[in-house]
Amino acid sequence: MEEIPITDNHIHVDPVNGEGPLKVAQKFHASGGRVMIIPNKPSWSCGKPFNYEHAMDLVLEYVDIINQNTPVKAYAVLGLHPAELSRLLESGKSPQEAETLIIEGMEYAQKKVQEEEAVALGEIGRPHYEVSGEEWEIHNQIMVQVMQLAKEVDCPVQLHTESSQEPQFNEFSQMADKAGLKRHKLIKHFSGPYTSREENHGLTPSLIATREVVSEGIKKGNNFLMETDYLDDVTRPGAVLGPKTVPRRTFEFIKKGIMTNEDAFSIHKDNVEKVYGILNDF
């Protein structure tokens, strides 16, 4: 039987604060994982606050290390977490200065996608914590601008936002339409089980791979991705979910009849290929 190219759609690696790319990839592969889609971590966690190019270049290095030294296929996603804007404002930058710096950073990410060093822009979006109305609007403006950057190079965007249900998915879909980005190219990272089109308005939900979320999501269809949002931080072991979770959850659900082999191929191969435009084969 053809091997399922089990894909973790949002997993971090960090050799400074965690175990690093090789150990994480080896754990993932030993559990049955085959493809890691890796966003860069925030600039301050890389030791150089506000040096966005440095943070992005680091994850490109880590992806190369995994691809050259393990059987896992790794792909980079480059972006600026919404907390980067918050920190710029806290540092004394004006809203206009802060927005300009974020967009300049995202233009660098776009360039790396164009050069085929990365496959998507993200994670970008708006905070999961409370901010002023003015800051909230700047985040919304940035989201649309980044979607426009993605449209120019025909790549997806991974969204980090507050907890979102149908009304938020609808809002994000309108942003995608405004930017001219195909809705399925907008990925809601850390999504709940909103797998029906009526709930997600054509966006691609990337389900956090808990038993509860995936078992609820698969009842309504298999048009989703799976992720752990693993942080690779020794001070928070296993947060958010460990690197073995997506393969283990997939095999467990197939064994229990909650998910079919066809479902697993749709989630880990067909959907990944459709959204990212990559060939997810072994």
Q: What is the DSSP string of 47-115?
A: T-TT-HHHHHHHHHHHHHHHHHHSS-EEEEEE---HHHHHHHHHTT--HHHHHHHHHHHHHHHHHHHHT
The enclosing H or E element of 175 equals helix 166-179
**Residue 48, domain member (yes or no):** yes
- Give the CATH number for residue 231: 3.20.20.140
- Is residue 113, in this structure, part of any structural domain at all? yes
- Residue 114 lies in domain: 7-276
Neighbours of 127 (CB within 10 A): 17
Q: How many domains does the chain divide into?
A: 1
pTM of the model: 0.98
74 found inside a domain: yes
**110-157 per-position pLDDT tens digit:** 999 999 999 999 999 999 999 999 999 999 999 999 999 999 999 999
- Quick check: is 282 in a domain? no
281 within some domain: no
- The answer as to whether 215 is a domain residue is yes
Residue 208 lies in a domain: yes
Residue with tokens 């270049």: 57
Q: Is residue 1 a part of any domain in this protein?
A: no
pLDDT (tens digit per residue) in 177-229:
999 999 999 999 999 999 999 999 999 999 999 999 999 999 999 999 999 99
